[in-house]
Chain A
């Protein structure tokens, strides 16, 4: 279990990273995988370049045999390609790399984990580390349980006095409610909740955090943030890519598990939650979980009435012909895995009663974009009856763009300069890149730093994960019981016809992001 704090560092007062951890070792399980080379180590390197990383040693662990030097060389390649600060500063890298080590490990073998513990102790000693340990589970989910269990056996889950042992767990956290509950049970036998950091990298994105800033640091939006003024909300998570090299995983997961259960429901809960009492981890997460718990369950007598399942057929993306999902390598020829899903959700609480939240997510859509768009109700009285007035008909839209081109756009009606009365929508845009002129840190940078300093605000709590699965699992069960194919859509379009109809039957339409 996590130990308590220590004497305050007098030199930390007033510095930007006032919560920085002491010297720590970061142990990455699944270190030979893509995530380590593409995201994790580039993020740590970028933090080091910016001077925000505490003193760290890194121990990579995975099943393959590899020397320290070979591991470092593979990481350097990843940093050279994926770090924000490029080209790599060789002098800085050589110092950084000197604290990187590698050890082969069998995740489900207690003896192997004890050997890892011995190596870790030696590394801590070599680099004058205090004994703080951050474990990162970037492995297939099937070994999350065994790794945590063996961390316990090896004595690595219980930190010394004033030290910490924390575990970051990558998604997917379970594949349905039962497996998520079982995994929570298994890891809580070894770790307390405040040692567990379930990561959803969307929460590390600047614009996702800016959703909270926009709502709760500005006085003008919150009064409008309810069913009196909001007509409906659209959340889009669109990808241009197909399944690429992930067909084996995606065949089992589908877009509902891959995007909606985690990323989009996280965005939804931040967009719809009540103001927390403070920005402390549990205060924020208490409010988020209430939103998910208030989602109206899928109707038992019409489980798929508010759900559209699609799968891409062949088509064209950005000038290239692309195959149908069923023709992708590694995909079953009669696969029913969904590559697109659209949902109409209701949050049954005082604030959002009657306001539909439309979510859609898909692969092989025309462009990569993630956004939340609040569509406000039209003005109560149409004063300019004879004017061409699309805003008067449709209402204003506040769109929060999460990726790419992070920013916020508000559409308002303005008079077109002319003798006649014509009203046209104009967009007031704020873009991070233009306004701040600097790169936003990568999501993993923020999240790794938060985990090192013990701040769980941007991580998902156990009850939150279970609440999302409680909502999602009946949809999977209904699909499993159905013999119908998903609705096909041409790659490069915005999804199947049913998705359009889902809104059209309500007299609405999807916005083109």
Chain B
């Protein structure tokens, strides 16, 4: 094998193992194409790769202190290597930083591959990653560059830690070309995140979803399962109190969850009874008056939702601890169903992109929760 061939194979191997190569923006597509072409030609089965892409994923990592999204950017960054297991995408990682040094350019671009072994254990399924590092005013170039780099004819989604900031030209330049925006209300530093999310939902052509809302899907299913079956009318009518013991680091999700419950049970607004206490007239449950209580000082690492009837008896309890959801269907506690969803932000993002069915219900939950 010639030294040129050896170098080419080394490059391919490094590429498919995730090494980043700096490439000028105008050469990104050509460089990616030639690397994949070379990878496809390799005779070595160990390096056999399949390039797959269902989404353009634009992930914004805010590295400028004090900006919306900065607090959650490390966690978002740590999730990126896990993405290909759940979703085939071209991933555009947009890193915004302060303080370019005199010898640094305000915009740099890199390419790399993020590969996982396919189900056959041989072929690697790879997503390609393009990192755009924008320093200081370099962010003004980002929207146009992203528009040029998205794979045509497939949808694009923006993933941010927190919420897209209101007055940020770079983000504003991206928002209107997207099919989906994935936010995280619990990581937002906005003073009124629910209202901001509503505004975004109403103003954008893109669908918007929240990672906390996605993470709470097992809880919503568990709540629904408590009321499935023949006795549903009686069980609903006897309901008087719902107490949600939430985790302190998920305040917005807990609020949203109660908004969802209230929206499911009633078409009327809630009445505030005190701090974290509300009443609803349950128009879908015999107009019973139901008290909703949010307790954010519950057990460490445990979320619990308790349903209590008019006699003070528990109709059911739902508990989530480290991803395991238990449903106890009666007060005696002898009918328990458990499900286990190993927490994974990457999987949650894949879920957020896979269905828009729940959007209307998220909108309703946001609307109700904002008024609580």
Question: A residues bordering B, Cβ < 8 Å?
Answer: 6-7, 9-17, 20-23, 48-56, 89, 91-92, 95-96, 98, 126-132, 160-163, 431, 433-439
The answer to the question of B355 belonging to the interface, with a C-beta cut-off of 8 Å to chain A, is yes
> Are A55 and B338 also in contact (CB < 8 A) when A434-B125, A435-B52 are?
no
A51 pairs with B325, CB closer than 8 A: yes
Chain B residues whose CB sits within 8 angstroms of the CB of A91 once the complex forms = 324, 338, 340
> Are A127 and B86 also in contact (CB < 8 A) when A11-B220, A16-B357, A22-B230 are?
no
Contact of B220 among A15, A20, A23, A95 (CB under 8 A): A15
> Are A95 and B336 also in contact (CB < 8 A) when A10-B264, A435-B54 are?
yes
23 A-B pairs (CB sep. < 8 Å): A6-B229, A6-B232, A10-B265, A11-B224, A13-B264, A14-B357, A16-B221, A16-B357, A20-B224, A22-B228, A23-B229, A53-B337, A53-B339, A55-B225, A92-B340, A98-B336, A128-B334, A130-B231, A160-B230, A433-B118, A434-B50, A434-B52, A438-B86
Contact of B230 among A14, A89, A162 (CB under 8 A): A162
B251: shortest Cβ distance to chain A, in Å?
22
Q: Closest residue to A161 on the B side, CB-wise? A: B230
Give the residues from 79 to 122 in chain B that come closer than 8 angstroms, CB to CB, to chain A. 84-88, 116, 118-119
Chain A residues whose CB sits within 8 angstroms of the CB of B119 once the complex forms = 433, 439
Q: 0/1 per residue, B207-235, Cβ < 8 Å to A? A: 00000000001101111111111111100
Chain B residues whose CB sits within 8 angstroms of the CB of A15 once the complex forms = 217, 220-221, 224, 358
A427: shortest Cβ distance to chain B, in Å?
13
B125: shortest Cβ distance to chain A, in Å?
5
Contact of A437 among B125, B233, B330 (CB under 8 A): B125
Counting residue pairs across A and B whose Cβ atoms lie within 8 Å, the total is 141
CA of A11 to CA of B358 in the docked complex: distance in angstroms?
Answer: 12
Question: B residues bordering A, Cβ < 8 Å?
Answer: 50, 52, 54, 84-88, 116, 118-119, 125, 217-218, 220-233, 236, 261, 264-265, 284-285, 324-327, 329-330, 334-341, 350, 355, 357-358, 360-361
A9 pairs with B324, CB closer than 8 A: no
CA of A433 to CA of B124 in the docked complex: distance in angstroms?
Answer: 11
Q: Closest residue to A95 on the B side, CB-wise? A: B338
Q: Closest residue to A131 on the B side, CB-wise? A: B230
A433 pairs with B264, CB closer than 8 A: no
A435 pairs with B220, CB closer than 8 A: no
Chain A residues whose CB sits within 8 angstroms of the CB of B339 once the complex forms = 48-51, 53, 92
> Are A11 and B223 also in contact (CB < 8 A) when A433-B119, A435-B52 are?
yes
Contact of B222 among A51, A160, A431 (CB under 8 A): A51
CA of A16 to CA of B225 in the docked complex: distance in angstroms?
Answer: 13
Beyond contacts A22-B232, A92-B338, A437-B52: 4 other A-B pairs, Cβ-Cβ < 8 A, are A10-B236, A15-B221, A95-B338, A131-B230
> Are A437 and B87 also in contact (CB < 8 A) when A49-B339, A89-B340 are?
yes
CA of A435 to CA of B127 in the docked complex: distance in angstroms?
Answer: 10
B350: shortest Cβ distance to chain A, in Å?
7
A16 pairs with B355, CB closer than 8 A: yes
A130 pairs with B229, CB closer than 8 A: yes
Chain A residues whose CB sits within 8 angstroms of the CB of B336 once the complex forms = 95, 98
A272: shortest Cβ distance to chain B, in Å?
29
Chain A residues whose CB sits within 8 angstroms of the CB of B285 once the complex forms = 10
Most B CB contacts (10 A, CB to CB) among A50, A53, A434, A436 go to A434
A48 pairs with B337, CB closer than 8 A: yes
Most A CB contacts (10 A, CB to CB) among B221, B325, B327, B341 go to B221
Chain B residues whose CB sits within 8 angstroms of the CB of A12 once the complex forms = 224, 228
B50 pairs with A51, CB closer than 8 A: no
A55 pairs with B337, CB closer than 8 A: yes
A435: shortest Cβ distance to chain B, in Å?
5
A13 pairs with B221, CB closer than 8 A: no
A180: shortest Cβ distance to chain B, in Å?
35
A92 pairs with B324, CB closer than 8 A: yes
Chain A residues whose CB sits within 8 angstroms of the CB of B261 once the complex forms = 11
Q: Closest residue to B228 on the A side, CB-wise? A: A22
CA of A221 to CA of B84 in the docked complex: distance in angstroms?
Answer: 30
CA of A78 to CA of B366 in the docked complex: distance in angstroms?
Answer: 44
Chain B residues whose CB sits within 8 angstroms of the CB of A17 once the complex forms = 221
A54 pairs with B228, CB closer than 8 A: yes
A437 pairs with B334, CB closer than 8 A: no
B335 pairs with A128, CB closer than 8 A: yes
A437 pairs with B350, CB closer than 8 A: yes
A6 pairs with B338, CB closer than 8 A: no
B244: shortest Cβ distance to chain A, in Å?
14
B39: shortest Cβ distance to chain A, in Å?
14
A130 pairs with B230, CB closer than 8 A: yes
CA of A56 to CA of B336 in the docked complex: distance in angstroms?
Answer: 10
Chain B residues whose CB sits within 8 angstroms of the CB of A98 once the complex forms = 336
Chain B residues whose CB sits within 8 angstroms of the CB of A434 once the complex forms = 50, 52, 88, 118, 125
